[in-house]
Amino acid sequence: MIKNIIKPLLCVAVAAGMAGCSENDVYIGGADTGILESPDGNVVYITDGNGRSDVGYVEFRDSYTLDLFVRSSKTLSGNVSATFSYDPAVLDEYNKGEGTEIALFPQANVSLADGGRATIAEGSLSSAAMGVTMTSAKDLDPTVTYAVPLRVNVDGGQLGQASDSYIILVRDITSFPGTDKYYDGKPGMKIIGVIEVNNVNPLNVMGFTLKDSGKQFFDMVVLFSANINFNAQTGRVYVSRNENVQAILDNRDKYIKPLQDRGIKVVLGVLGNHDASGISTLRPQLAKEFAKEVKNVCDAYGLDGIFLDDEWSDFNAAASGAIPGFCAQSSEAASRLAYEIRKAQPQRLLISYRWEALTRGYAVDGMDCSQIWDYVCNDYLMTSNPVDSYPGLRQNQAATGSWNCADGSGSKDRCIPSNQKWSSRFSLTGMREEGYGAMMIYNFTCNPSNAMTNAVIRDMGATARDFWNAELEYDNSWYPKDF
């Protein structure tokens, strides 16, 4: 969530250095490029810790320190120093020139290490870090970007005086309460919302919070769904995305980041798509290659994890032996793929939808199911405990009581909790008392025109009371599908 980038704002023309400089001395001329350059090509410039000085911002909870450095492209014959100071005039000038109305991040919540001074010592190319520490102002709007305006004065030896201006764009998201919920002081059950993005905007989950704490009702959102597909010409198995999934990924700042800002994890669903490739049909080498592909997609779009669903593949084609790299559908192959995904990106969530070959899990290369999976979700029809078929899985990694927001019919078993068929198989209180860690809500929607919406909201309220002893609050917002 933290992007450490400093934005160059203005570069003011600077006085020339004195005559008689050696070839290593710096003449600081007027420029508007964000760097201080001499006639022989030497530059003195400012970067963050990653060497970047491009457009961006800092986003943080509670506090964050951004390290800034003064650097030179050549070693100097004398010291060069820069002094950073908080200067509202920098932002005034920018807002006036650009016609913007960016607000100040409070000076009282900004501190500069060593009085804001950074020095490039003689013979060196970089100063030590000068830390800009920002602490939460608590009452700032977490959806608004503010500015820390910095005036930078450069001096040293024959350099005379120079000045430059930089702004650090800041979002303080501390006031978002997050999603961590409790019952009697212990971590509470998680809610995994599976969103059919062909029909529903995922932002709709944000409208549901707990009244007293402000915590988000949903802990995770699954974008359902991307697919696993096979390119026969290249022999490559890849993550394919239809136009709806791709639109959300391409516009992550609009559809993904607002969820993540509130602490909701955004997970990409992956399931079969009518060819031989599938969650449970890849031989080890192809599984390893596909796991890298999955990681690349998660990296590219800043996703928090993957939800695997073993459906809609051509299992007969995979089992025929006609296509190299594929095997007959098996739980062992599904576990191997999950293992490779876990190895490729251990920091991200990995969730199993317990269906087809994923009904059962296996340890792989000494890694048991609790290490491979974060959560295993029962299908709607299942009442058995995932722990019994996923060796090593902890009870708080198991999810049961799944329900379908679009199905309240008494003639089916996979309906919402208000239906008698559901309640005869599951108890919200019972799931919590038995130590389950999560519950999946599929096909979530709160469209006012949907006849099921009122019942879904009612049952979500019952879930909040039984899972966390809390009252559900809905802000009546509705985000249409606009992608």
Catalytic residues: 311
Whether 122 and 192 have beta carbons less than 8 Å apart is answered as: no
Q: Which is it for the CA torsion 393, 394, 400, 405, positive or negative?
A: negative
CA dist., res. 277 & res. 318, Å (int): 7
Report CA 168 to chain centroid distance, whole Å: 21
In sequence order, the β-bridge partners of residue 165 are: 10, 151
Candidates 260, 25, 61, 338; CA nearest to 160 is: 25
CA dist., res. 390 & res. 395, Å (int): 10
Buried b (16+ CB within 10 A) or exposed e, 42-61: bbbbbbbeeeebeeebbbbb
- List, in sequence order, the alpha helices (H) in 219-266: 243-250, 252-255, 257-261
DSSP 59: E
30: Cβ contacts below 8 Å, ≥ 6 apart: 12, 13, 14
Candidates 315, 393, 408, 412; CA nearest to 354 is: 393
Q: Could you give the angle at which helices 331-344 and 284-301 cross, rounded to 10 degrees?
A: 40
**Tokens (6 digits) for 100:** 């913007």
Q: Read off the amino acid at residue 285.
A: Q
Q: Which residue has the tokens 């506090």?
A: 63
**Tokens (6 digits) for 437:** 């860690």
366: left (phi over 0), alpha (psi -120 to 50) or beta: left
CA dist., res. 53 & res. 55, Å (int): 7
**Cis preceding-peptide flag for 225 (omega within 30 of 0):** yes
Report helix, strand or coil for 465: helix
